[in-house]
Amino acid sequence: MKILEKTLPLPSVSAAVAMAVSYYAYPFLISPGYRFIVILLFLFLLVICFLFVLRDIPGINTKRISVMCFLVIAAAAGFSLGISARRSVSTQVEMAFQPERIRAISGTITEDPRSLHGGSGMGRLALGSCAAQGGLRGSARGTITVFYPAESIPRLKEFGRGSEVYLDGVYTDGIRGPLFRATSVHIVSPASALEQFRTSLRLKFLQSFQGRADQQGQRPPVWGALASALLLGVRDDLDTDLSEGFRNSGCSHILALSGMHLAILSGLLAFLLRRPLGIRWASLCGAVFIILYVFIAGSQPSLVRAAIMYLIGCFAIWGFLPTKALSLLCLAFIIQLLIQSETGVTPSFILSYLALAGILTLGENFRSLFRGRIPLVLSVSLSASLGAFILASPVVVLFFGVLRPIGILASLILAPLASLFMILALCALAASFLPFPLWTVFDFALGFLYRLLELFVYLAGQVPGLHISNPVPVLVFVIFFCFFVLFIQKRDEAYRNNLASFD
């Protein structure tokens, strides 16, 4: 295992890359006309892996041959797992009747209903049956996006995920798939006892961010909606201008529950438990907390990715797995694609992994280049921001058609402010159960911090983005730029080593 630890790519990296190739190239792989191209791409990636393995060895020895064989086996396993995961993804919605005849559907709510500006709401529904004109009933399969009428939202949030509903309305085909616009909602049966407990606990947390406003007959605090978004991923009451400002500033990832949010929460817990319990048992308590947190907040792809990495990291702390961050990321990618295959095609899933991969690879190259040239605190944040932005930019253009480079700099300010905001919001949550003056202190601090975030978001949002319709040129530029940065970084390392030898 020692030689595997010192060898790049690690087996998990090889398996994850092969799995990504087969998963995302699956539509071309099953087409006879493109199958050869995909296989050729896979073989090309294997050749690159071998070059990495052999790059520091003057002669081939038996250990290197064994490592190469191990990487080939890992890549073949990953390639097979990717095909299996993609085949299990069903994007088709099957109805017993023609779409224009459907007047009602029934099924199970698969995610927490979200409020939209204007009062209405939306969510995902796992279909069970459908009804057509004349009272005809038939089977239905698949998952569909549903728009709910405004008057049904409070009741839907009360019953929550896992409830079975019957909806009257109109079935239509949208740009991103089939939609159902409900005109009336009927709760057929509530969710399971565990889901009901989860929904009630979630609602209590959301209500706690209203502080003592209800008791005093005052309006809820202005920062409450942002606290709900950053801690629970609920953006229903978030100010429209602030939400658009985060998007226009290229910092919408700050609002999405991810590794930054888990790092803050688990970090606070580790700070409290590390001294009395030790790092191993503190990490185990943190793992239990992370599982409960994901259960309450919901299974957003970026949050699940961060949770899986944390859990794998716990095994690493106990000595069962290697502790390299890139290896943990690849293992999380493999596990999440196996347990949540359908999320692999969503933008949030792809961007979450690409951004972190950029931080761990290209970001480290930038960090090496910046070492000694700019302050360490700034170089760490700037290199991470650059790595994430550059590696994710082709996918951003593919899905959204616009790049916002201002986000590289804006994240350096907004991310620390958002982290501080989350910590103070947790303190305010605890203070809501304590004497009134303490709540007032946190309310004032959070109100000031909210206005500061609002100001920086507005200023960064005024910088225009780059509207690009074709992601291919961006992809080509990113590939060549990555090789250029790697070349410059190697030259810089050689230059520094010569200076060190001279000294």
Give me the residue spans of the domains in the chain. 2-87, 94-190, 229-497
Most confident range (mean pLDDT) of 199-213, 253-267, 415-429 is: 415-429
Task: Give the pLDDT score at 276.
Answer: 73
For residue 439, pLDDT beyond 50: yes
> Are the CB atoms for 121 and 152 separated by under 8 Å?
yes
SS (H, E, C) 108-160: EECCCCEECCCCCEEEEEEEEEEEEHHHCEEEEECEEEEEECHHHHHHHHHHC
Q: pLDDT confidence of 257, banded at 50, 70, 90?
A: confident
DSSP string, 197-226: HHHHHHHHHHHHTTTTHHHHT-PPPTTHHH
Question: What does the pLDDT look like over 287-334, one tens digit per residue?
Answer: 888 888 888 888 888 888 888 888 887 777 766 666 678 888 888 999
What's the confidence (pLDDT) of residue 61? 54
- 439/446 Cα distance (integer angstroms): 10
**Would you state the pLDDT for residue 8?**
45
Whether this prediction's pTM lies above 0.95 is answered by no
458-483 pLDDT, tens per residue? 999 899 988 988 888 998 999 899 88
- Higher model confidence: residue 367 or residue 173? 367
Sequence-ordered list of residues with C-beta below 8 angstroms from that of 380, at least 6 positions apart, any chain: 367
Look at residue 407 and give its three-state secondary structure.
helix
Asked if 266 contacts 423 with a C-beta cutoff of 8 angstroms, the reply is no
Q: How far is residue 114 from each of residues 111, 261, 342, 346, 386, measured CA to CA in Å?
A: 9, 21, 20, 18, 33
Is residue 298 within 8 Å of 112, Cβ to Cβ? yes
**Per-residue confidence (pLDDT) for residue 238, from 0 to 100:** 82
**What pLDDT is attached to residue 1?**
37
Angle of the 347-360 helix axis to the 301-317 helix axis, nearest 10: 40
CA 316 to chain centre: 22
182 pLDDT higher than 80: yes
Class of domain 94-190: mainly beta
Q: Which of 7, 86, 80, 85 is nearest to 49 (CA)?
A: 7
Which pair of tokens denotes residue 70?
């191990």
Q: Which helix H or strand E contains 434, and what residues bound it?
A: none
> What's the pLDDT tens digit per position in 48-59?
656 555 555 555
Helix/strand/coil (H/E/C) assignment for every residue in 463-483: CCCEECCCHHHHHHHHHHHHH
pLDDT for position 2: 39
Cα-based torsion angle of the residue sequence 19, 22, 24, 25 in order, rounded to the nearest 10 degrees: 160
Count CB neighbours of 462 within 10 A: 10
Give every CB contact of residue 464 below 8 A, 6+ residues apart in sequence: none
